[in-house]
Amino acid sequence: MTSAVESNGEVEKPAWKFFVKSWGCSSNFSDGEVMAGVLKSAGFELVPDWSEADVVVANSCTVVNPSELHFWTFVKQCVESNKSLVLAGCVLQAENRPLDAALPIWLRPFKAQIAVLGPRQLTTVAAAAAQLLTGECGTMPINLGDDGIPQAPPKIRGNCRVEIVPICYGCRGACTYCKTRFARGALKSKPIAQIVEEAKQAYPFTELWLTGQDTSAYGLDIDASVPQLIDALISALPDHIKIRIGMANPDHILPDLGNWTRMFMNHPQLYRFLHLPVQSGSNAVLKRMNRKYTAEQFEQLVDGLRAAVPDITIMTDVIAGFPGETDEDWVQTLALLTKLQLPFVNITRFYSRPHTPAAKMKQVDSKVTKRRTKELTGLDTRKATLDALVGHNMPVVVTDRAYKGSLMVGHTPCYIQVLLPLDEALLEAGATVQAEIVSAGAWSVEGRVIKQ
């Protein structure tokens, strides 16, 4: 690092450089943005690659084995390159045991390079990084330390057109396969006024993502609700802002379905989109998962939403090969998805997570699980939905650059992803354009701009 010279002739210490890498859900990515903002506010300098950093923040996800393995692979690269490293997020927190036991054996010799933060200790990241870089501490403790919920925290957005606001933390559920709840703790909702103020201070942006471990549980601890929050946000924000609601569990929506459907019907600024994980179409499996609804109630919810909001896009999640899942259980899952024809289904092979009740249940043979995953992939329920858009003109909100550099990403009012030819001016503005859909792919459609 080079030194700068101040006007009084004294040498100014160069800023420490940092890099943040996050895995997992949008809530976790928001946490990463907050930690980046805290570090920058403390005088650290953000760099585009971890190899250039003095300190690396690895913000982990423990939902499934692959994301955790990617995290540990990245950590190994960093410590072997002699980087100071802050381990944040859910992986170590969810272990809920002393750090010496939770750390992999291969990592323990590097403890002097490491600090560990829980998911509710975001605002301490700069202090942890400084202590590591000055050699003032070795390993920080691991616990459910709670900074409180910071109001309008400093943030560096990964996408300047998208503001991610966690509206609640933790969960009221106790799913037998879930390890994340050990890390995130009990439900804690932000007051509506705080969320509104946070969004107002973050403006300008094009999309507002409301996120949490379960957004449908929002407000159950503070006598509030998602429909009330949406009413307040839309009253406070410019009309062109689009709002997306994050993953929502079915059991919290069913008792308040009328208010949820009115919310979508009354507010065109709200994407007509919901992510509702069903996980299984078998009531026996749902019971072992400790999910708080039946397959029939899930179907009732989908039918109720579609009756009130016919063009709503509903995405779901399914776990294949949950412990004890029989062929008949799996047939029931396939039958439910075939009947409902949900356009987007996230398929996850069951991964046994340590310290969860499901880890102690009788496991399904891995070959059976792979076969079931393949069968579910073959349903391809999304094709009819996407094909039906071809030839139609519709508004598309442009928000991002596609992986293919010649394209940009936008979304229809029902949150269908549209790929358009790249126009830097439109992308920079986060513009809403009129587009003709010309073809349908596996997960998105392609279009062309016909009116700006």
pLDDT single digits (tens) 117-138: 888 888 889 988 998 998 865 4
pLDDT band at 293 (very low <50, low <70, confident <90, very high): very high
| pLDDT band, very low/low/confident/very high, at 216 (cuts 50, 70, 90) | very high
Which H or E run contains 293? Answer: none
CA 83 to chain centre: 27
Determine which helix (DSSP H) or strand (DSSP E) holds 200, and give its type and residue range.
helix 192-202
Structure confidence by residue, pLDDT tens digits, 4-58: 334 444 445 568 999 999 999 999 999 999 999 999 999 999 999 999 999 999 9
Of 180-189, 313-322, 412-421, the range with the lowest mean pLDDT is 180-189
By CB neighbour count within 10 A (0-12 exposed, 13-18 middle, 19+ buried), where does 246 fall? Answer: buried
Rg of the chain taking only CA atoms, in angstroms: 23
Per the CB < 8 A criterion, the answer to whether 409 and 399 are in contact is: yes
**Architecture, CATH, for domain 387-451:** Beta Barrel (2.40)
Does position 83 have pLDDT exceeding 80, yes or no? yes
Cβ–Cβ under 8 Å, residues 233 and 188? no
Structure token digits, residue 352: 């046994």
Q: What is the mean pLDDT of residues 237-256?
A: 96
Q: What's the full length of the chain, in residues?
A: 452
Q: In the prediction, which pLDDT does 404 show?
A: 76
User: How far apart are the C-alpha atoms of 307 and 406, rounded to whole Å?
Assistant: 39
Between 45 and 146, residue with greater pLDDT: 45
Distance of alpha carbon 257 from the chain centroid: 24
Instruction: Please answer whether residues 138 and 111 qualify as being in contact, where contact means their C-beta atoms are separated by less than 8 angstroms.
Output: yes
- % residues pLDDT > 70 (the chain): 93
CATH number for the region 162-381 comes to 3.80.30.20
Give the ranges where 14-60 is alpha helix by DSSP (H). Answer: 26-41
Using DSSP's 3-state secondary structure scheme, residue 89 falls into strand
The mean pLDDT value for 417-428 works out to: 96
- What's the CATH architecture for 12-134? 3-Layer(aba) Sandwich (3.40)
Q: Which residues pair with 168 in a beta bridge?
A: 189
Q: Supply the mean pLDDT for the chain.
A: 91
C-alpha–C-alpha distance, residues 212 and 246, integer Å: 7
Q: Say how far apart CA 249 and CA 266 lie, in whole Å.
A: 22
Note if the bond before 421 is cis, omega within 30 degrees.
no
* Paired residues of 436 in beta bridges: 393, 448
Q: What is the pTM of this model?
A: 0.91
The pLDDT assigned to 147 comes to 56
Residue 329 reports pLDDT greater than 70: yes
Of 338, 345, 339, give the one whose Cα is nearest residue 316. 345
Which contiguous run of DSSP H or E holds residue 181? helix 180-184
Domain ranges of the chain: 12-134, 162-381, 387-451
Q: Are 410 and 398 in contact (CB under 8 A)?
A: yes
Indicate if the pLDDT at residue 185 is higher than 90: no
